[in-house]
Amino acid sequence: MHQPSPPFDAQAARRLREGLGMAPGHVAYGLRAQYGLLVDPETVAAWERGRARPDEQELTALAGVLWCSPAELIATASTLREHRMARGLSAEELARLVGVAAHAYQRMEDEGRWRGTERQTAALAEVLGLGPRALITATGGDERLAELLRDAATTRWQAYVKPAVKMLPLPKRRLESALQRLHTDYHARMAATSSWGASGATGDEGRAYLDDITGHFWAAVGS
C-alpha cells in the first residue's frame, strides 16, 4: 500500500541545515554517502521550499544528515505512522516494543485503526509518548469517541462510563465527572432554547454543542 509523505516541516529543515553551515549540495552528498539515497541538491531545495516532501526513508535519512531527530522535521504528527516516524522507529521495532506481531501492526497502521489489547495500547502510548487525546486520534478513535459522547450527553450518561473507561486511559472518576458535565451542559442548552421567551426554540445551541462534543469533553477532563 502506497503511503503518503509525512507532514514535513520545511522551515525547520532549512534552519537546521543553515545552522550546520551546510548547503543543499552537502545534504545531498550526505544522503548519498551515508544512506545510499540518490537525492540531488535541487530536490533538497524543493523540500525546503515546500514544493516537494521527502518520503519516510528520505526523512529518516535527512534527520541523520542534519543531526536531529525525525520529530524535528515532522510538522504535526497525528497518525500512528507519523508518531512512529517521529520516534525514529521502524514498524517492526514498534510492533516488538508493544507486543504485536509485525504484520498485524503494519495492517493496523495502514488502515488507521488500532485494535490492540488494553495492555498493548498502554505500551503504545508509553513508547510513543502519547497523552489520552493524541492516543485517541492516532489510533483512529475520534469518531467512535464522539459518538459515545453524543449518546452520553443526550441520554443516560451513566450507561457510557464503562465504555469510556475501556476506550480512554483516564481514571474512572474523572470520566464520570466529565460525562455528567456534558449531559448537564447539553440539557441546560436545550432547556434554554425551549423555554418561553427564548429566541427561536429550534435547538440550535444543543446541536452546536454536540458538533463540538469532543472539544467540550477534553476541556472537561483537562486535556
Which of 107, 101, 118 shows the shortest CA–CA distance to 80?
107
Would the pLDDT of 160 be above 60? yes
Taking CB atoms within 8 Å and a gap of at least 24, the contacts of 207-215 are 209/153, 209/185, 210/150, 210/153, 210/154, 210/186, 213/146, 213/149, 213/150, 213/153, 213/182, 214/142, 214/145, 214/146, 214/149
Return the number of other C-beta atoms located less than 10 Å from residue 207's C-beta: 13
pLDDT for res 118 = 85
Would the pLDDT of 2 be above 60? no
User: Which band of pLDDT confidence, cut at 50, 70 and 90, is reported for residue 83?
Assistant: very high
For range 102-108, the mean pLDDT? 95
- pLDDT digits 0-9 by tens, 117-152: 889 998 999 999 999 999 999 999 999 999 999 999
User: Which band of pLDDT confidence, cut at 50, 70 and 90, is reported for residue 222?
Assistant: confident
Handedness of CA 178, 181, 187, 188 (dihedral sign): negative
Packing angle between helix 172-194 and helix 204-211, nearest 10 degrees?
A: 150
For range 13-18, the mean pLDDT? 94
